[in-house]
Amino acid sequence: MPKLFLVVDDSEAERELMAHTLRSAFSDAEVRTSGHPADVPRLCEAQRFDCVLLDYNMPELDGLALARRLRATDPYLPIILATNVGDEMLVAEALRSGASDYIPKPRVTLESIERIVNRCIHTCAQARLIDDQRAELENFAFALAHDFKQPIRQIITFSGLVSEGMLSGQTSEMQQHLTFLSDAASRLARLVDVMSQYTLLNQPPELEDIDLGRVIGSVRASLSALLEERSGELVSTVDLPVIRGNETLLIQILENLVINGLTYNRSAVPRVEVAARPSGEDWIVEVRDNGIGVDAEYLAEIFNPLVRLHTSAEYAGSGLGLTLARKAVLAQAGAIWCASDLGEGSVFHLRLPAARSVSSCLVPDFDGLGRP
C-alpha cells in the first residue's frame, strides 16, 4: 500500500530536497509538505500520515515543541526530527519530546532515509500492537477473574455442605450437592481451557491451502452427538472452495459458530447453513442459522471477552466462543462480522484469503461488500 509522508520545514529549498529524497527512496509514496508548523496538528487530524519529518529549527514552532504536540494527540505517529545541528543532548531531548527517531540533514541519503523511515514506522506499529495486546489481556484477565468467582464460590459452598452432611450422617441431599460440585468444577475447567486457547492464539499459526469442504466434514463429525441431541441440521453447498488458513483453527471457528447456531435456537429443527462466494482475492464464508438472532445494538459487542446476552440459566456457555473465533480469524489474516435481526437468526461472515494455488482464478467482488 503506498505510503503518505508529511515534510515540515520553514525553508522551501530544504523542504523540497527532503521531499525529493523521499520520493526517490519510496517510488510509490505520496509526499506532502508544509512550511507552517502551526498548521501541522490540523493536517495530521484531517489525514493519517505514515510518517512525519520535522525540521528542528523553525521560528514559529520548533521541531521539539511540535513533536510534543503531535505525540499528545497520537501516541503511535512515526515522527522523525531532522536538523542541520546534531549532538547527543539534542537527540535525547528529541526522543523525550516524542520524536520516534532523529537524522542529521547532512547524512540524509536514499539509503539512510529509507532505513530510518522504515525502522520508525515498524517501531511505532510494534508499540501500538504491544499496547493493544496488553490492554486486551488486561481486560480479558479482569473479566475472566470475575467469571472464575462464581464456580469457585459454588465449589466452596457445596464442598462445605457435603462435609457437613458426612459429619451429621445426613446423606439425602449429598448426591445433589455432589452434582452441583461437579458441574461447577467442570465449568471452571472449561474456563481454564478457554484462557489457555486465548493466550496461545497470540502466537502466529502456520498457514496452508485447505479444503473448506473437508473442514466442514470434520465439524459435522465432531458435532454429530450435539446435532442428534438437538435434532439439528448442518448443511453446506457442494462447491466449497480451497482457502488459505490454518485447518485446526478454522475447525474451531466453525465449531463455535455452529454450536452457537444450534444452542441459541428455539426452532423445532435448528439449522445451520455454510456457503462461500469469491470476493476479489478472498472468499466470504457465510454461516447462517435460524436461531434467536442478536439485537442490532449488541452486534458490536458480541466478539468482546465474556460478553453474554443471556443468563447461564437460559443458555449455557463461557461467553468466550466468539472472542476466540475472532482472534483465530484475525490470526489467519481474515475478518469476521455478524448480521442479525432479533428473532430472525444470524449470519456470520468470515473473510479469508484464497488458496495461493487458485487465487488467480477468482472473479472480482462486484457487490461492493468489503471488510466492516
CATH number of the domain encompassing residue 95? 3.40.50.2300
**14 inside domain:** yes
**242 inside domain:** yes
Q: At what angle do helices 321-331 and 247-263 cross, to 10 degrees?
A: 150
**142 inside domain:** no
Q: Are residues 77 and 213 in the same domain?
A: no
Q: Say if residue 306's pLDDT is above 70.
A: no
All three cell numbers of 197, joined, read 486457547
Instruction: Give the 3-state DSSP-derived string for the chain, with helices as H, strands as E and coil as C.
Output: CCCEEEEECCCHHHHHHHHHHHHHHCCCCEEEEECCHHHHHHHHHHCCCCEEEEECCCCCCCHHHHHHHHHHHCCCCCEEEEECCCCHHHHHHHHHHCCCEEEEHHHCCHHHHHHHHHHHHHHHHHHHHHHHHHHHHHHHHHHHHHHHHHHHHHHHHHHHHHHHHHHHCCCCCHHHHHHHHHHHHHHHHHHHHHHHHHHHCCCCCCCEEEEHHHHHHHHHHHCHHHHHHHCCEEEECCCCCEEEECHHHHHHHHHHHHHHHHHCCCCCCCEEEEEEEEECCEEEEEEEECCCCCCHHHCCCCCCCCCCCCCCCCCCCCCCHHHHHHHHHHHCCCEEEEEECCCCCEEEEEEEEECCCCHHHCCCCCCCCCCC
Q: Which residue has the higher pLDDT, 117 or 166?
A: 117
User: What are the residues facing 282 on neighbouring strands?
Assistant: 279, 353
pLDDT of residue 364: 36
For strands 79-83 and 51-55, give the pairing.
parallel
Answer yes or no: pTM beyond 0.85: no
Q: Are residues 88 and 219 in the same domain?
A: no
Q: Are residues 217 and 338 in the same domain?
A: yes
Q: Say if residue 366's pLDDT is above 50.
A: no
Distance CA 113, CA 111 (A): 6
All three cell numbers of 71, joined, read 505525540
Contact yes or no for 5/50 (Cβ under 8 A): yes
Q: Say if residue 213's pLDDT is above 90.
A: yes
Last residue of a domain, one of 82, 108, 134: 108
Distance CA 156, CA 169 (A): 20
**193 inside domain:** no
**Total number of residues shown for the chain:** 372
Q: Are residues 244 and 360 in the same domain?
A: yes
| Domain coverage including residue 47 | 4-108
Per-chain mean pLDDT for the chain: 81
pLDDT of residue 34: 93
Q: Are residues 234 and 347 in the same domain?
A: yes
pLDDT of residue 360: 38
Q: Number of structural domains, the chain?
A: 2
**60 inside domain:** yes
Q: Are residues 104 and 210 in the same domain?
A: no
**118 inside domain:** no
pLDDT digits (tens, 9 = 90+) for 181-199: 777 777 677 667 656 666 6
pLDDT of residue 216: 93
CA 339 to chain centre: 18
Last residue of a domain, one of 108, 137, 163: 108
pLDDT of residue 295: 72
**68 inside domain:** yes
Residue 157, CA distances (Å) to 27, 52, 142, 180, 311 in order: 68, 60, 23, 10, 21
Q: Are residues 224 and 84 in the same domain?
A: no
Q: Say if residue 15's pLDDT is above 70.
A: yes
Q: Model confidence at 361, in pLDDT bands (50, 70, 90)? A: very low
Q: Are residues 101 and 209 in the same domain?
A: no
Residue with cell 507552517: 36
CA 50 to chain centre: 21
Half-sphere exposure (Cβ direction) of 259: Cα atoms closer than 13 Å:
21
pLDDT of residue 368: 33
**12 inside domain:** yes
Q: Are residues 100 and 230 in the same domain?
A: no
Mean pLDDT of 143-148: 62
Q: Are residues 103 and 209 in the same domain?
A: no
Q: Which of 171-185, 204-218, 322-336, 342-356 is predicted least confidently?
A: 171-185
Last residue of a domain, one of 108, 125, 155: 108
Q: What angle do CA 313, 348, 269 make, to 5 degrees?
A: 55
pLDDT digits (tens, 9 = 90+) for 155-184: 878 787 777 777 776 666 777 777 777 777
Contact yes or no for 354/283 (Cβ under 8 A): yes
* Alpha-carbon Rg for the chain in angstroms: 28
Q: What is the CATH number of the domain that holds 233?
A: 3.30.565.10
Q: Are residues 228 and 102 in the same domain?
A: no
All three cell numbers of 146, joined, read 470475575
Distance CA 131, CA 103 (A): 26
pLDDT of residue 198: 60
Q: Which of 21-35, 147-161, 199-213 is predicted least confidently?
A: 147-161
Q: Say if residue 106's pLDDT is above 50.
A: yes
